[in-house]
Amino acid sequence: MRKINVFDTTLRDGEQSAGVNLNFQEKLEIAKQLERLGVDIIEAGFPASSQGDFASVKAIAQTVKGSSITGLSRSLEREIETTWEALKESAEPRIHVFIATSPIHMEYKLRMTPDQVVENAVAAVKQAAAKFPQVQWSAEDASRSDLPFLARIIREVIDAGATVINLPDTVGYTTPYEIGQMFRYVSEHVPNIDKAILSTHNHDDLGMAVANSLAAIQNGAGQVECTVNGIGERAGNASLEEIAVALNIRQDHYQAKTNLTLKEIKRTSTLVSKLTGMVVPSNKAVVGANAFAHESGIHQDGVLKNKETYEIITPELVGVSSNRMVLGKHSGRHAFKDKLVELGFNGSDEQLQKTFVAFKDLADKKKDITEEDLFALMTEATVGSAVSHYELETLQVNYGTTNIPTATITMKLPNGETVQEAGTGSGSVEAIYNTLERVVDEPILLMDYRIQSTTAGRDSLAEVYVTVQYDGTESSGRGTAHDVLEASAKAYINAVNRTISRKLFNEQRTNPLKV
Ligand code: KIV
Ligand code: ZN
């Protein structure tokens, strides 16, 4: 059985998804969960692209020691240097340096000849190898590159010190047959290929990213790059959970395995979905809400007689619980803490206390508290606390079919003062948002508003996701509460708080190398 390294790029390529902007604390939480999942390599960001990325890559490299941490870099001297500054404290410093190799990218984007690209790639890899024990080199748009040219440049970068060679299908153009041919060609035409691990990285523009990744594995790739829930640029990247489960369920066929702890998959998927605001479609393989639901009578009958008639993956394999009640109103702090630790909690005492208070409050309103509820409360307490410039203290809404909806809100301002405002709107949410705009005293444009429940049942927690335009930038926000109106208010305030945090961060850090 071959071991395939899993390289997760949720925090880099995944974060490039339109509308996604994770803050420092959220990236750290995702990285810790990826470590728990057993990912071999975490691409934590693109350190030279912004001060925010630099700081979060550095913090992840300092904190997460169970996975190798890497950062993306163009083939530029100063970017490679910045990437080193961000990663030098990681357990196994690893850089991911890339340059495009397809005729169209070389001519129009880089405006370089093939010889210049080779020269540039070799120089970048040499510079990187002088510092990093692991150097991954990527041939951007490899799937549309000329194969003999690809073989030549790969041979030269391996000689220069590259230890991993990644061949991305950057535009999601290739097919399983073609990608297999490319990997076979490289394995057979690069004389020093045994000195490096081949890696595959696929985008889903034609819906073939997972199939292409599996075909590359069958043809020599020893590393697969993917994102949780398949998020990423345009149509996204190959989805981690689909590849991992395909390799596990069809071991007979692929003869390959990963080091992942599969029962952490569902939780990882939920965390990424919550923090990015990207909803997982209910029919999504492995992690969708309907992935294990049998609707038709014939199927249900078969499953009752023998599960294997229609079920090839058990929900337990990927950590899907059956919405089980885990705690109730009378559960004590001890049982609560134990359950949280089991769910992966490793926050501070203050965060534990905050989650406990929220739990007690929810238990007064909801009979059975499930793992999903606890996970939602815990996520709010650990990542929500980092961004509270404005804080909601009280909210009251008057709604009647014949009245004008009115909201009255008490808020704590960034300077510590408490203010009360009231406002109206044509609906309750609009009344709340108009009132909040008065408190913040600056125009806030609502671009998107979405709501979903944490669990089934009328007493479920509500999760609201918004995108707003505030202070010249677009920001997303989320809020969780037992009441949909409170969740709506929290999401809006969260988006404003995130904009302020980002602005403060950028003002404080003028030189990323000094972080
Ligand atoms: O899709 C791509 O080509 C990439 C590279 C930077 C590896 O993401
Ligand atoms: Zn990519």
Mean pLDDT within 182-192: 98
Contact between 200 and 179 (Cβ < 8 Å): yes
pLDDT value of residue 141: 98
pLDDT value of residue 324: 63
In angstroms, the CA 435 to CA 426 distance is 13
Task: Please write the tens of the pLDDT for every residue from 338-349.
Answer: 888 887 787 888
Q: Is the pLDDT of residue 385 over 70?
A: no
- 8-state DSSP, 469: E
Atom 8 of ligand 1, nearest CA residue = 13
**230 CB-contact burial (10 Å; exposed 0-12 / middle 13-18 / buried 19+):** buried
Per-residue pLDDT band at 384 (split at 50, 70, 90): low
| Kind of pairing between the strands at 256-257 and 2-3 | parallel
- 8-state DSSP, 108: I
Per-residue pLDDT band at 102 (split at 50, 70, 90): very high
Atom of ligand 1 at shortest distance to CA of 9?
Answer: 8
Q: Is the pLDDT of residue 272 over 70?
A: yes
44 C-alpha to ligand 2 centroid (Å)? 14
Could you list which residues have their CB under 5 Å from ion ligand 2? Answer: 13
Coil, helix or strand at residue 515: coil
Q: Which residues, judged by CB distance below 6 Å to any ligand atom, belong to the binding site of ligand 1?
A: 13, 72, 98, 138, 140, 166, 168, 170, 201, 203
pLDDT value of residue 418: 97
Which ligand ends up closest to the CA of 167? 1
Q: Is the pLDDT of residue 515 over 60?
A: no
Mean pLDDT within 457-469: 92
| Kind of pairing between the strands at 406-412 and 418-424 | antiparallel
Least confident range from 98-102, 351-355, 433-437: namely 351-355
State the chain's mean pLDDT as an integer. Answer: 92
Least confident range from 17-26, 224-233, 489-498: namely 17-26
pLDDT value of residue 305: 85
What's the Rg (C-alpha) of the chain?
25
Q: Is the pLDDT of residue 193 over 60?
A: yes
Structure tokens at 357: 């208070």
Residue partners of 210: CB distance under 8 A and separation at least 6: 202, 204, 230, 238, 239, 242, 243, 246
451 C-alpha to ligand 2 centroid (Å)? 30
- Helix-, strand-, coil-residue percentages of the chain, each rounded to 5: 45, 20, 30
Task: Please write the tens of the pLDDT for every residue from 417-426.
Answer: 999 999 999 9
Contact between 132 and 89 (Cβ < 8 Å): no
